[in-house]
Amino acid sequence: MPSETYGKFVSLTKDYAIAGQIGGLLGWDQETCMPEKGAADRSNQLAFIAGIEHERQTSAELGNLLDKLEQEADEDVVVATNVRETRREYDRAIRVPTDLVKEIARVTSLAQDAWRKARAESNFALFVPTLERLLDLKRQVADKIGWKTEPFDALMDEYEPGTKAADVQVVFDRLKTKLVPFVAAIKDAPRRPDLSILKRPCPIEQQKAFTRRVLEAMQFDFKAGRVDTSTHPFCSGATPNDVRLTSRYFEDYFPASLFGLMHEGGHGLYEQGLDAAHVGTPMGSSVSLGIHESQSRLWENQVGRSRAFWERFYGEFQAAFASMADVPLDDFYFAINNVKPSFIRVEADEVTYGLHIMLRFAIERPMIAGTLAVRDIPEKWNALSQELLGITPSNDAEGCLQDIHWAFGMYGYFPTYQLGNLYSAQFFAAAKRAMPGLEDQIRRGELAPLREWLRENIHRHGKRYRAPELAKLVTGSTLADEPYMEYLEAKYKPLYGI
Ligand code: ZN
């Protein structure tokens, strides 16, 4: 029987979670329907709500309750999880002094301007001084939070609790030895898809109707979520009962909305699958960004770019888009699975994507540790690009200046994308073992059993397990590269005839 102290604790955590939910909805509104002139007022509203959230999250009262609950040492799994994870977030929040937080906010805003200018002129040198300053501040954050092996761990912990850089490195190193030659073999393959198929005109209204149909098949609950249009697609979940997806639509490039929404829909199913009874507490929250991304990539790639899926849905697709009527399924399937090393991460396919992340990881670790001088980043970037992708950027804009993340002060964030790819393959392989008929179900458009399996094994647990622990429990292994490589080889070897 949870104690009175625990009752108070839960009502406090739910309180600041509500502030976070309100902030999320204000942010969603800003990206989807806010009129232009609302921007200044909106930033005040967001700052106000963020202030309330921070104040409650770092209150002395919450600290006292945590101390008491840790003494009570309740073994109930819900209580233990909520106390453990709230402690982690509380310590992270209170250990960093307010002055340091303010200074980071100030320098981050300068860094974004410097990054924009540097990228426009394709001149990394213009970004160097502010990036150095920001790195110095983030190192101070890492020191305040505390770390054992390297400061990078303290920063990555914000996005991927419980995962250490050295462990990720081991898996990335193994993956590199297989993935680099695999991509090279595809590059030299005699067969290439006809990509003009992807640019055939598909009216936007029909794209909206078709993607809604796909999301319904995925069991996305439209009574507990909706889809709107924004410049950059995202999923923002207030609660499992209110999940907002967004997409963008191009009449002459349907993959943006189709695979974009299957991706965001995967995030959305995770949010809808969290236990509503635990909203506003760690037991009702997602594990990490890497696990979140595993859900989006699983639906986007393992399902959405599979032949089985299209055997069911291609007829409907052709019926919706007259311009596709004469395109055989095989040509379509090949085109949506085009693999080609390219400079820009956000345009990368599912095979080469990981290499972009491994490149950033190889720079971020020494950059944070201070063993790689900031001014040397372009040279290192280009050398890594050649080593991993077999191509060298011709300038900084298509190389080390392409992403804004470093200017936002986000370090240790990039790896979560590739952790998502790796975990998605591990989970999908485990689902296939558990459900031998899974592929046939997908071939018939029956996606509910897969959604149920993910809900049962991953979503409903909230933060009960950390990512490596959850992976081990569900798949028998912590982070691993084998299922990912097996998936890629089984799919792409026959496609490219290699
Ligand atoms: Zn995502």
Domains in the chain (CATH in brackets) are 4-146 (no CATH), 165-496 (1.10.1370.30)
- The separation between the first and the last C-alpha atoms of the chain, rounded to the nearest angstrom, is 61
β-bridge mates for residue 227, sequence order? 245
Render 158-171 in DSSP notation, one character per residue.
TTSTT--HHHHHHH
Determine how many CB atoms are found less than 10 A away from the CB of residue 419.
30
Q: How far is ligand 1, taken at its centre, from the CA of residue 375, in Å? A: 31
Query: Helix and strand tally (H, E) in the chain?
Result: 20, 3
Could you tell me where the DSSP H helices lie in 321-352?
329-335
Q: How far is ligand 1, taken at its centre, from the CA of residue 45, in Å? A: 26
* Selected catalytic residue, list 150, 160, 264, 293: 264
Over its length of 498 residues, how does the chain's per-residue pLDDT go in tens digits? Answer: 678 999 999 999 999 999 999 999 999 999 999 999 998 899 899 999 999 999 999 999 999 999 999 999 889 999 999 999 999 999 999 999 999 999 999 999 999 999 999 999 999 999 999 999 999 999 999 999 999 999 999 999 999 999 999 999 999 999 999 999 999 999 999 999 999 999 999 999 999 999 999 999 999 999 999 999 999 999 997 899 999 999 999 999 999 999 999 999 999 999 999 999 999 999 999 999 999 999 999 999 999 999 999 999 999 999 999 999 999 999 999 999 999 999 999 999 999 999 999 999 999 999 999 999 999 999 999 999 999 999 999 999 999 999 999 999 999 999 999 999 999 999 999 999 999 999 999 999 999 999 999 999 999 999 999 999 999 999 999 999 999 999 999 999 999 999
Q: How far is ligand 1, taken at its centre, from the CA of residue 286, in Å? A: 13
The reported pLDDT for the residue numbered 200 is 98
Q: How far is ligand 1, taken at its centre, from the CA of residue 417, in Å? A: 8
Question: How many residues does this entry show for the chain?
Answer: 498
Query: Residue 442 contacts by C-beta under 8 Å, 6 or more apart in sequence?
Result: 303, 306, 308, 309, 312, 450
Tokens (6 digits) for 85: 């994870």
Q: How far is ligand 1, taken at its centre, from the CA of residue 292, in Å? A: 7
Q: How far is ligand 1, taken at its centre, from the CA of residue 216, in Å? A: 19
Residues 28 and 268 sit within 8 Å (Cβ to Cβ): no
Residues 385 and 395 sit within 8 Å (Cβ to Cβ): no
Q: Where are the beta strands (DSSP E) in 16-150?
A: none
Q: How far is ligand 1, taken at its centre, from the CA of residue 267, in Å? A: 7
Cα separation, 385 vs 390, whole angstroms: 6
Cα separation, 224 vs 461, whole angstroms: 20
Tokens (6 digits) for 477: 């292994």
Catalytic residue flag (residue 264): yes
Q: How far is ligand 1, taken at its centre, from the CA of residue 353, in Å? A: 13
Q: How far is ligand 1, taken at its centre, from the CA of residue 380, in Å? A: 27
* Best CA proximity match to 242, nearest among 215, 222, 259, 263: 222
Residue 342, H or E segment: none
Q: How far is ligand 1, taken at its centre, from the CA of residue 260, in Å? A: 9
Q: How far is ligand 1, taken at its centre, from the CA of residue 12, in Å? A: 30
Residues 366 and 150 sit within 8 Å (Cβ to Cβ): no
Cα separation, 326 vs 345, whole angstroms: 32
**CA dihedral sign of residues 40, 42, 43, 49:** positive
β-bridge mates for residue 244, sequence order? 226, 236
Residues 94 and 61 sit within 8 Å (Cβ to Cβ): no
